[in-house]
């Protein structure tokens, strides 16, 4: 940011204007932000790409099945067998359930249907279908409560609500209060870390207030994008938005506040100090935010609509956060003045404590033998990558995707244990009517399917369905879908399309795997180009990208071991590697940007090696604090009862800490010290300077004192 613009934003009058404008926007935005949940789309079918077979099948199946229908299964179980009194009560309850609002069709007595009772007589299932229109899934928690009132447990009889309706109710419970929980939890950990970082009882308020304003405004913008645009928002992306805005926004705040505190020791006037701080810190903050924004926008190329939707959601959040942190936060800091740092107020013409702190001492130790340090660190990280062999990112069943047992999962387990087909989630094949019998015969030969049912013709298309004998979300059912597609795909002129819940989930896994192969290289390319432009070099960006990829592999490898041996998770969602990669590369590169832009700044007067040591000592504390904030906010996601959230939170938090404590502070610094001016190849920066001949360790004693400035153009800014 140009110093004149920086000075105008935080001038004696404009600082108040900036504060009032942003606070006014926050008040207006808060109303729309609260409506964001109303425009969420959490239906799995809406997440699929249009060219997936199950998506094409949905179009043809619309003649036979309303997409707003919600099949629900009421499961009854009594060890030793259902009694005659149970039979009578269950039949009566089926009639009463059939009178509930939203029920479509007749609710059959389970004792009069072929698949209604298990062979051992211990389990019965009543199938009921609800239809409340487009947003009917939101009605299911209340409906399930009514079903439980009609069919209570007691006296040894167990009752569970499973199927699509039961799963919708349990999903609503798991996401209930998600945004507020993540918001308050993220704010809580940010406050604690800021208190420890600043050791001030009041300074933490300004970054938290700024982050809160950024979140409200971002949510309002995303609400309009979802309501009137083509952006897909779901519970997952909204939860990630909260964590991302608070984490990344606070990171930018930490960097700016640290630089402002430095400049207050060099400049007596607070407006002048902020102008210098913004002039020097804003380029790194803007570059970091641009890296994250462009990295997130790469998700738009994903096949999965849910993944593609996360791209603009995250990009908007980071963009708004950036604007707030380089306008509102500086204005608030200047309004409050030096007293906001109490009791450790930075006084004019005093020494900068980072010059002799922990990170300065660490730099001197690394400088003794930098080549051994970066080689040894790289080997350790590479060994940690071996944990990737334990990563099983092939999807999770309904039973495996939660960290606690929900009622719908227990109900499905009961059906599976008693070899009962899940009639609420059948395999569904849309085919030309002339070949319907051949399709039905072919499905009859597929292992894992129950008896087929053929619907009447509708406009030349016929529905052939068959219940799955295994959990619709399990790998066994996915194998059955593949077999069914092979069986009917070879029938001439049938144009058979296999759909249903299992087919949708299988196609989601395929789409996620495709996205992993496409988006990861694309993000690497985009981030590499940004670094080349920012650092005006090729070798430094290449090395930085290699370090971040190594950090990603180590983080995911260690996380895989934790998931398997500590948490006991059965596996991971197929989208996990992509999400963790995008977050770690886009966010993790921030810390390298913060460090390397400072190295480049110091190189102009001190040389690369000495500049690297000064940069480490000056940025080490603030970058570590920023890493702790980001890691802690992502770790908040692990409090949710969803395995996917826990895994993303843990893996990203671990990766961020590796980036801040190992990669940036040790590995990158060692590379700077070992390569010296070669790091800027092919630019001429520092080429041929005394930096090549000097002892790296000698640079540890170099630091700028109060009032000293390497940039003569910044000698007078008022």
- pLDDT digits 0-9 by tens, 73-87: 999 999 999 999 999
CATH no. for residue 77? 3.30.70.1320
pTM of this prediction exceeds 0.85:
no
Residue spans of alpha helices (H) in 326-369: 328-336, 358-368
Please tell me the least confidently modeled range out of 36-45, 79-88, 269-278, 399-408. Answer: 36-45
Q: Which helix (H) or strand (E) holds 77?
A: strand 69-77
Same domain for 239 and 336, yes or no, is yes
* 306-349 tens-digit pLDDT: 788 888 999 999 999 999 999 999 999 888 888 888 877 777 66
Pair 676, 691: CB distance under 8 Å: yes
Whether residues 162 and 204 share a domain: the answer is no
Q: Is the pLDDT of residue 606 over 80?
A: yes
For residue 518, the tally of other CB atoms under 10 A from its CB is: 15
- Count of other CB atoms within 10 angstroms of residue 84: 7
Same domain, 393 and 363: yes
What pLDDT sits at residue 352?
57
Chain segment 349-362, per-residue pLDDT in tens: 666 555 567 888 89
Total domain count for the chain?
3
Residues 519 and 614 in one domain: yes
Whether 679 contacts 539, CB under 8 Å: yes
> What average pLDDT score do residues 458-487 get?
88
Q: What's the pLDDT at 671?
A: 94
Q: Provide, rounded to the nearest whole percent, the portion of the chain with pLDDT above 70.
A: 89
Residue 248 has pLDDT above 70, yes or no: yes
Both structure tokens of 139: 């009605």
Q: Rounded to the nearest 5 degrees, what angle is found at the Cα of 517, between the Cα atoms of 516 and 520?
A: 65
Mean pLDDT of 366-385: 94
Q: Does 421 lie in the same domain as 280? A: no
Dihedral pair phi/psi, residue 704, rounded to 5°? -85, 135
Distance CA 665, CA 591 (A): 9
Q: Is residue 690 part of a domain?
A: yes
Q: Please tell me which residue, 384 or 40, carries the higher pLDDT value.
A: 384
Is it the case that residue 556 has pLDDT exceeding 60?
Answer: yes
- The mean pLDDT of 664-686, rounded to a whole number, is 88
Q: Which pLDDT band, with edges at 50, 70 and 90, does 122 fall under?
A: very high
Phi-psi region of 52 (alpha: psi -120 to 50; beta: other; left: phi over 0): beta
| Residues 639 and 691 grouped into a single domain | yes
Confidence of residue 698 (pLDDT cuts 50, 70, 90): very low
For residue 585, is pLDDT > 70? yes
Do residues 607 and 640 lie in contact, with contact meaning Cβ atoms separated by under 8 Å? no
Shared domain for 128 and 194, answered yes or no, is no
Note whether residue 397 is domain-resident: yes
How far is C-alpha 359 from the geometric centre of its chain's CA atoms?
31
Establish if 522 belongs to a structural domain. yes
Identify whether residues 365 and 433 lie together within a single domain: yes
Range of the domain at 476: 353-402+417-704
Q: Where are the alpha helices (DSSP H) in 34-83?
A: 53-61
Long-range contacts of residues 180-183, Cβ cutoff 8 Å, at least 24 apart? 181/639, 181/640, 182/239, 182/242, 182/243, 182/636, 182/637, 182/640, 183/215, 183/242, 183/246
Instruction: Determine the pLDDT at residue 712.
Output: 36
Burial of residue 694 (CB within 10 Å: 0-12, 13-18, 19+) is middle
- Mean pLDDT within 110-119: 85
- Give the pLDDT band of residue 179 (cuts 50, 70, 90): low
| Domain membership flag for residue 45 | no
Residue 8 pLDDT more than 70? no
Across the range 646-668, mean pLDDT stands at 90
Q: Select the more confidently predicted residue: 673 or 258.
A: 673
Kindly compute the dihedral angle of the four CA atoms of residues 280, 284, 290, 295, in this order, to the nearest 10 degrees. 180
With H, G, I as helix, E, B as strand and everything else as coil, classify residue 49.
coil
Residues 530 and 598 in one domain: yes
Please name every residue paired with 126 in a beta bridge, in sequence order, or none if there are none: 74
Distances (CA, A) of 711 to 414, 599, 706: 73, 14, 14
Q: Where are the alpha helices (DSSP H) in 65-177?
A: 84-97, 140-150, 163-175
From the list 485, 593, 594, the residue with the least C-alpha distance to 532 is: 593
Q: Which of 491, 508, 468 is nearest to 303 (CA)?
A: 508
* CB distance 552 to 383 below 8 Å: no
Is the residue at 2 inside a domain? no
Average pLDDT for 523-531: 88
Q: At residue 560, does pLDDT exceed 90?
A: yes
d(CA 183, CA 316): 17
Give yes or no for residue 521 having a pLDDT over 80.
Answer: yes
Distance of alpha carbon 61 from its chain centroid, rounded?
33
Give the model's pLDDT for residue 650.
92
Q: Do 185 and 80 fall within a single domain?
A: no
Average pLDDT over residues 653-665: 89
Range 76-79 contact pairs with CB under 8 angstroms and sequence separation of 24 or more: 76/110, 76/123, 76/124, 76/125, 76/126, 76/151, 76/157, 76/158, 76/159, 77/122, 77/123, 77/157, 77/158, 77/159, 77/160, 77/414, 78/122, 78/156, 78/157, 78/158, 79/122, 79/156
Inform me whether the pLDDT recorded for 214 exceeds 90. yes
| Type and span of the H or E element at 428 | strand 422-432
Last residue of a domain, one of 311, 333, 350: 350
> How far is CA 56 from each of CA 48, 442, 486, 489, rounded to the nearest angstrom?
10, 21, 17, 14
Please report the pLDDT score of residue 4 as a whole number: 57
The CATH number covering residue 190 comes to 1.20.1640.10
Residues 602, 613: Cα–Cα separation, whole Å = 9
* Residue 313 contacts residue 237 (beta carbons within 8 Å): yes
Domain boundary among 156, 175, 194: 175
Residues 161 and 183 in one domain: no
Contact 703, 617 (CB under 8 A): yes
Q: Mean pLDDT over all residues of the chain?
A: 83
pLDDT at 182 over 90: no
CA R_g for the chain: 30
* Residues 106, 398: Cα–Cα separation, whole Å: 28
Any domain includes 311:
yes
pLDDT at 710: 41
360 and 344 within one domain:
no
Residue 32: inside a domain: no
Residue 218 lies in a domain: yes
Can you read off the two tokens belonging to residue 711? 């940039």
Domain ends where: 152, 175, 198? 175
């Amino acid at each position: 940011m140009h110093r004149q613009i920086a000075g105008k934003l935080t001038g004696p009058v404009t600082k108040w204007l900036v504060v009032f404008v942003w606070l006014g926007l926050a008040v207006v935005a808060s109303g729309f932000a609260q409506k964001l949940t109303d425009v969420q789309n959490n239906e799995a079918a809406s997440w699929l790409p249009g060219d997936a077979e199950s998506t094409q099948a949905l179009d043809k199946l619309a003649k036979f099945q309303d997409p707003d229908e919600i099949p629900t299964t009421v499961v009854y179980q009594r060890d030793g067998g259902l009694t005659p009194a149970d039979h009578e009560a269950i039949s009566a309850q089926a009639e009463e359930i059939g009178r509930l609002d939203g029920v479509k069709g007749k609710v059959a007595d389970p004792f009069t249907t072929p698949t209604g009772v298990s062979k051992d007589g211990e389990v019965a299932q009543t199938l009921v279908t609800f239809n409340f229109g487009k947003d009917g899934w939101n009605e299911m928690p209340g409906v399930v409560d009514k079903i439980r009132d009609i069919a209570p447990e007691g006296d040894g009889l167990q009752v569970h609500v499973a199927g699509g309706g039961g799963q919708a109710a349990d999903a609503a419970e798991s996401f209930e209060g998600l945004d507020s929980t993540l918001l308050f939890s993220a704010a809580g950990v940010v406050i604690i870390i800021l208190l420890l970082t600043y050791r001030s009882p009041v300074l933490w308020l300004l970054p938290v207030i700024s982050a809160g304003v950024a979140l409200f405004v971002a949510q309002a913008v995303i609400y309009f994008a979802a309501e009137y645009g083509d952006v897909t928002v779901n519970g997952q992306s909204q939860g990630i938005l909260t964590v991302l805005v608070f984490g990344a926004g606070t990171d930018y705040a930490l960097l700016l506040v640290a630089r402002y505190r430095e400049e207050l020791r060099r400049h007596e006037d607070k407006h002048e100090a902020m102008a210098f701080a913004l002039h020097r810190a804003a380029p790194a903050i803007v570059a970091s935010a641009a890296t994250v924004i462009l990295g997130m926008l790469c998700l738009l190329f994903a096949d999965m609509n849910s993944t593609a939707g996360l791209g603009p959601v995250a990009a908007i959040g980071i963009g708004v956060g950036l604007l707030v942190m380089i306008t509102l936060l500086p204005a608030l800091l200047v309004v409050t003045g030096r007293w906001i740092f109490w009791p450790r107020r930075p006084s004019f013409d005093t020494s900068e404590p980072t010059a002799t702190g922990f990170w300065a001492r660490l730099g001197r130790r690394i400088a003794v033998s930098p080549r051994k340090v970066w080689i040894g660190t790289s080997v350790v990280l590479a060994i940690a990558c071996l944990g990737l062999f334990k990563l099983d990112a092939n999807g999770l069943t309904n039973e495996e995707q939660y960290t606690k047992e929900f009622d719908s999962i227990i109900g499905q387990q009961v059906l599976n244990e008693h070899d009962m087909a899940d009639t609420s989630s059948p395999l569904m094949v849309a085919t030309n009517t002339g070949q319907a019998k051949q399709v039905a015969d072919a499905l009859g030969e597929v292992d894992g399917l129950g008896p087929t049912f053929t619907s009447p013709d509708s406009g030349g298309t016929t529905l052939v369905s068959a219940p799955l004998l295994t959990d619709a979300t399990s790998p066994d059912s996915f194998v059955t879908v593949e077999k069914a597609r092979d069986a009917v795909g070879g029938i001439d002129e049938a144009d058979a399309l296999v759909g249903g819940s299992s087919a949708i989930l299988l196609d989601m896994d395929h789409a996620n795997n495709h996205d992993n192969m496409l988006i990861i290289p694309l993000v690497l390319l985009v981030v590499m180009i940004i670094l080349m432009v920012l650092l005006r070099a090729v070798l430094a960006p290449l090395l930085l990208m290699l370090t971040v990829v190594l950090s990603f592999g180590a983080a995911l490898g260690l996380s895989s071991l934790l998931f398997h041996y500590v948490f006991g998770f059965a596996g991971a969602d197929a989208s996990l590697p992509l999400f963790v990669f995008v977050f770690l590369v886009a966010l993790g590169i921030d810390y390298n940007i913060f460090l390397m832009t400072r190295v480049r700044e110091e190189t102009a007067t001190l040389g690369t090696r000495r500049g690297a040591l000064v940069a480490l000592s000056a940025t080490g504390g603030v970058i570590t604090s920023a890493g702790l904030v980001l890691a802690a906010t992502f770790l908040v996601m692990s409090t949710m009862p969803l395995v996917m959230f826990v895994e993303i939170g843990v893996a990203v938090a671990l990766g961020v800490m590796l980036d801040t404590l190992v990669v940036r502070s040790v590995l990158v610094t060692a590379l700077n010290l070992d390569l010296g001016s070669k790091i800027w190849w092919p630019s001429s920066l520092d080429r041929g300077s005394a930096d090549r001949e000097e002892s790296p360790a000698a640079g540890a004693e170099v630091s700028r004192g109060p009032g000293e400035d390497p940039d003569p153009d910044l000698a007078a800014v008022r």
